[in-house]
Amino acid sequence: MPPKGSLGGLLSTKLTDEGRYNNRLLTLFPRKLKKDEKMQQKSQTIYFPNLPRVSASGTVAGPKECAGVAGKYVDLALDDDMFGESTYEKAECKMLRYAVNKAIENGRISESELDLFISGDLLNQIISASFAARDLSVPFLGVYGACSTMAESLALAALAVDAGHANHVIAATGSHFSSAERQYRYPLELGTTRPPQSQWTVTGAGATLVSAAKHSESRVAITAATFGRVVDFGITDVNNMGAAMAPAASDTIAAHLRDTGRKSSYYDLIVTGDLGALGSRILKDLLWEKGIDLHETHVDCGEIVYKVIEDEFQGGSGAGCSAVVLNSYLLEKMRRREIKKMLFAATGALLSTVSSGQGESIPCISHAVSIELV
C-alpha cells in the first residue's frame, strides 16, 4: 500500500485558479513506459575516481531565510534584502559575489589560484552570474539549469577537477525573491495573492570550492554525478513548481540508484533542492511506485529553509534555496561527521515567461551529486 498522504488524494484536494487542480498530472500517474524505455537503460552517471574535494563554501542569505535552519550556519545574515543596493537585481549579483569571495577566503586560496568559475541564476541572460564574473579575473562558464543550477555547476566542477584540467573550481548560484517574482510571475506592486500550492523564492547565494585531492585537506569528496533528463508531465501552473519538478527528481534519483546499484538506504540523506512539501510527497509516491522507499532518508531544502504552513505556501524555491542550505547547513553537518553519505539532487523548472504565455507546459530537470566522507 502507498504511504499515507498518497498522490491521488493529495492532488484531488488541491485547487487551481480555475477551481480544479491541473489533473493532467493525475491522469499520467502511473506513467506507462514507452517502448524505447523498456530497452536497456544507458548510464547517466559519471564516477570520479580521483575524489575531488569540497574544500570550502560561502553563503549569504536574507532575513526571512536566516530565521530557518540555515540561519546560524550562513557566513552572512542580511538585515535588509536590498544589501545596500538600489535594485533587487544588483542585490542578487552582490550576494553571489560575496558567496564566491567567501568560499575563496574560507578555502585559504587566492583568486589567482582559481582555475574556473561555473555559475548561473534565474534572471534573463544569467546576468547575476555574468556580472559577478566580471569582477573576477577567472575563466567563466555560464550555465542555466534554473533551480537545479547548484547541482549542475557542482557536477561540472567535479568533472573538470577529476579529469585533471583544474585544481580549484568555484560552483555557485543564487536568487532573490523580488527579482524572480517580477520576472516569472507578477510585479510586486500588484500585491497578487499567492495560492496555497506556491513556493517562496529564497533570497540568498551559495558557492562551493571544489579542489583536487592533493590541494585540499578536506575529507568531503564528490564521488559521482548523475546528469538528468528533461521530464515534462504536463503541468502548466507556474505557481505549482513542486508538482512540476517532482517527476524529474524521481527520474534522476531512480537513475542514480540503478546506475550505481545502490539502495536508498546507502545514503544518510537524499536531498532534493526545492520541491517543497507538496512536491516532496509526490516524489515519494513516484519512487514508491518504482520500488524505492525514500521516507526515512529524504530531506528537501525547500521544506527546511522556512517553517512551512501548507495552507499558505509549500516552502522555499529558487536557485538560492539549495545553494544556501547545501553550503551552510548540510556541508557543516558533513564536516562534523553527522552526515557521511549524501545524494544532493537539485531540481529545476525550465520555463520562461514567453513559453508560459504561449500555453506551454513546464519541462523540468534534476541533476544529482553524490557527496561522501572519505
- The stretch 48-64 carries a mean pLDDT of 96
Cell of 160: 573538470
Judged by average pLDDT, the poorest of 32-36, 37-41, 49-53, 122-126 is 32-36
Does residue 275 contact residue 318 with C-beta atoms inside 8 Å?
A: no
- The stretch 109-117 carries a mean pLDDT of 97
49-215 folds as: Peroxisomal Thiolase; Chain A, domain 1 (3.40.47)
Confidence of residue 238 (pLDDT cuts 50, 70, 90): confident
Residue 357, classified by CB atoms within 10 Å of its CB into exposed (0-12), middle (13-18) or buried (19+), is exposed
pLDDT of residue 13: 32
Q: What are the tens digits of pLDDT across the range 135-183?
A: 998 999 999 999 999 999 999 999 999 999 999 999 999 999 888 877 7
- The stretch 240-246 carries a mean pLDDT of 92
7-45+219-373 folds as: Peroxisomal Thiolase; Chain A, domain 1 (3.40.47)
Q: What are the tens digits of pLDDT across the range 302-341?
A: 998 987 665 556 888 999 999 999 999 999 999 999 999 9
For the chain, domain boundaries: 7-45+219-373, 49-215
Q: Which residue has the higher pLDDT, 31 or 73?
A: 73
Mean pLDDT value across the chain: 87
pTM of the model: 0.87
- Taking 60 as the threshold, does the pLDDT of residue 98 lie above it? yes
Amino acid letter, residue 91: A
Strands (E), the chain: 45-47, 53-61, 76-77, 116-120, 140-142, 168-175, 200-201, 204-211, 220-226, 269-272, 298-300, 316-317, 341-349, 364-373
- Taking 80 as the threshold, does the pLDDT of residue 184 lie above it? no
Collapsing DSSP to helix, strand or coil, 4 comes out as: coil
- Taking 70 as the threshold, does the pLDDT of residue 103 lie above it? yes
Amino acid letter, residue 95: M
pLDDT of residue 157: 98
In this chain, the answer to whether the domains covering 7-45+219-373 and 49-215 adopt an identical fold is yes
pLDDT of residue 178: 87
pLDDT of residue 41: 58
Task: Give me the percent of the chain exceeding a pLDDT of 70.
Answer: 87
